[in-house]
Amino acid sequence: MTKYIIRRIFYLILTLFIVASVTFFLMKFLPGTPYSNQAKLQPSQIAIMNQKYGLNKPLWDQYLIYMGNLLHGNLGTSFQFNNQPVTQLIAHDIGPSMQIGTQAMIVGSVLGILLGAVAAIKKNTWVDSGATFISILGISIPSFVLAVLLQYYFGYKLQWFPVALWQNFSSSILPTLALAAFPLANVARFMRTEMVDVLDSDYIELAKAKGDSERKTITHHALRNSLIPVITIVGPMAVSIMTGSLVVENIFSIPGIGNQFVQSILTNDYPTIMGLTIFYSFLLVVIILVVDILYGIIDPRIRLGNGGKE
Amino acid sequence: MAQKVLDVKDLSIDFDTLNGTVKAIRDVSFHLDKGETLALVGESGSGKSITVRTIMRLLADNETITNGTIDFEGKDILKESKKEMDKIRGGKIAMISQDPMTSLDPTMNIGNQVAEPLRVHEGMSKHKALEQAAEVLEEVGIPNARERMRDYPHQFSGGQRQRIVIAMAIIDNPDVLIADEPTTALDVTVQAQIIKLLKDLKDKIGTSIIFITHDLGVVANIADRVAVMYAGKIVEYGTVDDIFYNPQHPYTWGLLDSMPTLSMNSDRLNTIPGTPPNLINPPKGDAFYARNKYALKIDHEKQPPFFKVSDTHYAATWLLDKRAPKVTPPESIQKRQAEFKKRGEADHD
């Protein structure tokens, strides 16, 4: 298992290296320059600035310098945000984004699993139809529409939670719900399909034949087996939450990282774009690694090394 | 007369499909004596599995019992509450299923799976149940059972998995063991081992077995009595000798005749031509009529009742009616019947 994880971490670094390189060159094709009022600047001023930020060097040299710095954990300084180091910028703004993202994933997966399981157990009843209806709503309503609806009803009309701003835990609830709808709907749909299959399987029949009550068959045998494929979709979904959070953050005026990302692209703030891309990729590959390890824990057949034995 | 453990009477089961209601089981009656092995024989779709699943009350949602009773310990199983059924299942009546590759929960180690019936029915502590599970696993022939308790099903071969399934079924000493084609998915050498294991266990714990199979070779090996099923009905039943050496129903003839033997000098296997009837509209008369070259006109019009051949042997075919013309069964069957006669005479001497 350790060997496996070490190998996976090596691939993880390789992936990040490739992502960093590709982004670096792609970014240089972005139209425009980092200077917002270029028209008013003298060519000599631009030359000085270019010199300062190393933008006058050949592309290849810029690349080598950047990658060298990256190895030392230095993501450069932002052009746009008061020359702050990019690492500091990310560290400062990541908190709220991570919080609502994680909360949304947990709420979405847990409720989704429950909803899907109940739908499967009550297959072809009104409960099942209800669950399907919720799933379809969750998948088809965009998070920004849901966000506004939540704001209107729970923030403005009922005044249960703040409409916007980032102050305490209660201000994270509405954005969390807005973000959780999509993973909830997806997980529920998947879970239902899986669980219907599992409940129809031979080992469930045999578990009943052993005298397990319906409840025990589900908690001891069906749930765990149904979870195996569901885990696969959690990784990609976490990514969609990360990108989705950008819009939701804006609607709730949350000082999150999504906003930074958009700003940095609009202003050609190369170090920030690079830094955030690498950071997002890092999150993604780590999540995928965690999902794979989780897989092994839940499904003994995928446990690696020594033919399944640890 | 031996004591009956299980008595199935006039059982009829329908199930709904998109094409209509299938009359899958039609007036099936049989009983199981204490300590005996009853084989239910028939081709796929003849209703063997549904019959025994009804005894376990493990029917799918689209299946309805339209008639009948199943008497077990003086009570009708079909009228038991859900809770009572949970007590019977795995405790008093246990099941071994067909495909060992899919019958074990892939995410639970085998120790826990085998110990489960004890935990459910005897309320045993985990430690004690696992201890007993290890013993039973050893008994069914899992090598190093104690060390392997924490292994998962995928770490065992098909034959070993079937042994584990058997361990799971016998651990709580059931009165009735239902074996639904337990050897079909296994290769022949493993089959023989599993049959031997079942026979040994039966003698050891004194359970009665209902053994479902379509393999007559297996039947001869393990069964005391045989019931032959065709198209949702029992067409003939009797002791193993009755069925193998003095079969009366043309369907039984067909089954026996299609069994390859070593002395066969033709390189073709005999088959029963045609396919079973569609049970959405079951035929008015004998369901085997269309495939039966010995069929009488009445077979088309009227269900044959059971005719008594001997105290232990009954068959539902009009050929046994006094008015029926004499027919000559296939050659292989005649040979069997001749041997049966010889044996009978030997017994009388």
Among B144, B234, B162, smallest CA distance to B198 is for B162
Residue B212 Cα to chain centre, angstroms: 2
pLDDT of residue B11: 92
Which residues of A fall within a CB distance of 8 Å from B98?
Answer: 202
For chain B, list residues with pLDDT below 50.
Answer: none
What is the ipTM for the molecules in this complex? Answer: 0.83
pLDDT of residue B265: 65
pLDDT of A309 > 70? The answer is no
Determine, yes or no, domain membership for A91. Answer: yes
Contact indicator for B232, B26 with CB cutoff of 8 Å: yes
Task: Out of B87, B102, B109, name the one closest to residue A201 (CB).
Answer: B102
Rounded mean pLDDT, A23-30:
82
Cα–Cα distance, B3 to A114 (Å, whole number): 49
Residue A216 contacts B, CB cutoff 8 Å: yes
pLDDT tens sequence across A212-226: 888 889 998 999 899
A211/B109 CB distance under 8 A: no
Which residue of chain B comes nearest to A223, CA vs CA?
A: B107
Which residues of B fall within a CB distance of 8 Å from A216?
Answer: 120
Which residue of chain B comes nearest to A199, CA vs CA?
A: B60
- Looking at chain A from residue 118 to 137, which residues have their Cβ under 8 Å from any Cβ of chain B? 124
Q: Which two tokens stand for residue A148?
A: 């506004």
B89/A228 CB distance under 8 A: no
Determine, yes or no, domain membership for A63. Answer: no
Determine, yes or no, domain membership for A245. Answer: yes
Cα–Cα distance, B53 to B13 (Å, whole number): 11
B86/A220 CB distance under 8 A: no
Determine, yes or no, domain membership for A10. Answer: no
Residue A57 contacts B, CB cutoff 8 Å: no
Cα–Cα distance, B155 to B112 (Å, whole number): 15
Determine, yes or no, domain membership for A108. Answer: yes
pLDDT tens sequence across B283-311: 888 888 778 878 888 888 888 888 898 99
Mean of all residue pLDDT scores within chain A: 83
B108/A220 CB distance under 8 A: yes
Residues 6+ apart with CB under 8 A from B1: none
Q: How far is A216 from chain B (nearest CA, A)?
A: 10
Which residue of chain A comes nearest to B154, CA vs CA?
A: A301
Rounded mean pLDDT, A161-175:
79
Residue B116 contacts A, CB cutoff 8 Å: yes
B165/A206 CB distance under 8 A: yes
C-alpha separations of A198 from A192, B154, B162, B263 in Å: 10, 17, 20, 47
Give the count of domains, chain A: 1
Q: Which two tokens stand for residue B94?
A: 């246990």
Query: How is residue B286 annotated by DSSP?
Result: -
Q: How far is A225 from chain B (nearest CA, A)?
A: 7
Q: Which two tokens stand for residue B141?
A: 């022939």
Q: Secondary structure of chain A in the HEC alphabet?
A: CHHHHHHHHHHHHHHHHHHHHHHHHHHHCCCCCCCCCHHHCCHHHHHHHHHHHCCCCCHHHHHHHHHHHHHCCCCCECCCCCCCEHHHHHHHHHHHHHHHHHHHHHHHHHHHHHHHHHHHHCCCCHHHHHHHHHHHHHHHCCHHHHHHHHHHHHHHHCCCCCCCCCCCCHHHHHHHHHHHHHHHHHHHHHHHHHHHHHHCCHHHHHHHHCCCCHHHHHHHHHHHHHHHHHHHHHHHHHHHHHHHHHHHHHHCCCCCHHHHHHHHHHCCCHHHHHHHHHHHHHHHHHHHHHHHHHHHHHCHHHCCCHHHCC
User: Which residues sit opposite B33 in a β-bridge?
Assistant: B4
Host domain of residue A215: 86-256
Determine, yes or no, domain membership for A75. Answer: no
Among B277, B278, B261, B281, smallest CA distance to B269 is for B261
Determine, yes or no, domain membership for A11. Answer: no
Rounded mean pLDDT, A262-283:
83
Q: Which two tokens stand for residue B223?
A: 């069964």
Residues 6+ apart with CB under 8 A from B297: none
Mutation test of the interface with chain B: which of A123, A198, A204, A206, choosing the one with the most B Cβ atoms within 10 A? A206
Task: Out of B94, B102, B121, name the one closest to residue A209 (CB).
Answer: B94
Q: Is B299 helix (H, G, I), strand (E, B) or coil?
A: helix
B105/A221 CB distance under 8 A: yes
What b/e string do you get for B240-261 counting C-beta neighbours within 10 Å, with b at 16 or more? bbbbbbbbbbbbbbbbbbeeee
pLDDT of A208 > 60? The answer is yes
Residue B99 contacts A, CB cutoff 8 Å: yes
B90/A209 CB distance under 8 A: yes
Residue B239 contacts A, CB cutoff 8 Å: no
Which residue of chain B comes nearest to A221, CA vs CA?
A: B105
Q: How far is B164 from chain A (nearest CA, A)?
A: 12
pLDDT tens sequence across A134-151: 999 988 988 888 888 888
Residue A221 contacts B, CB cutoff 8 Å: yes
Which residue of chain B comes nearest to A228, CA vs CA?
A: B107
Contact indicator for A299, A291 with CB cutoff of 8 Å: no
A301/B154 CB distance under 8 A: yes
Among B45, B40, B61, B42, smallest CA distance to B279 is for B45
Measured between alpha carbons, how far apart are the two ends of chain B, in Å? Answer: 25
Residue B97 contacts A, CB cutoff 8 Å: yes
Which residue of chain A comes nearest to B86, CA vs CA?
A: A211
Task: Out of A203, A214, A298, name the one closest to residue B104 (CB).
Answer: A203
Which residues of B fall within a CB distance of 8 Å from A309?
Answer: 151, 155
Cα–Cα distance, B1 to B121 (Å, whole number): 32
Residue B158 contacts A, CB cutoff 8 Å: no
Residues 6+ apart with CB under 8 A from B330: B253, B257, B270
Which residues of B fall within a CB distance of 8 Å from A201?
Answer: 102
pLDDT of A308 > 60? The answer is no
Residue B200 contacts A, CB cutoff 8 Å: no
Which residue of chain A comes nearest to B178, CA vs CA?
A: A209
Q: How far is B91 from chain A (nearest CA, A)?
A: 7
Least confident stretch, A11-15, A56-60, A236-240, B288-292: A236-240
Q: How far is A118 from chain B (nearest CA, A)?
A: 17
User: CB contacts < 8 Å between A and B, how many?
Assistant: 84
Q: Packing angle between helix A86-121 and helix A257-266, nearest 10 degrees? A: 120
Determine, yes or no, domain membership for A152. Answer: yes
Residue A215 contacts B, CB cutoff 8 Å: no
Domain at A110, CATH number = 1.10.3720.10
Q: What is the largest CA-CA distance in chain B?
A: 68
pLDDT of residue B212: 93
pLDDT tens sequence across A91-133: 888 888 888 888 899 999 999 999 999 999 998 899 999 999 9
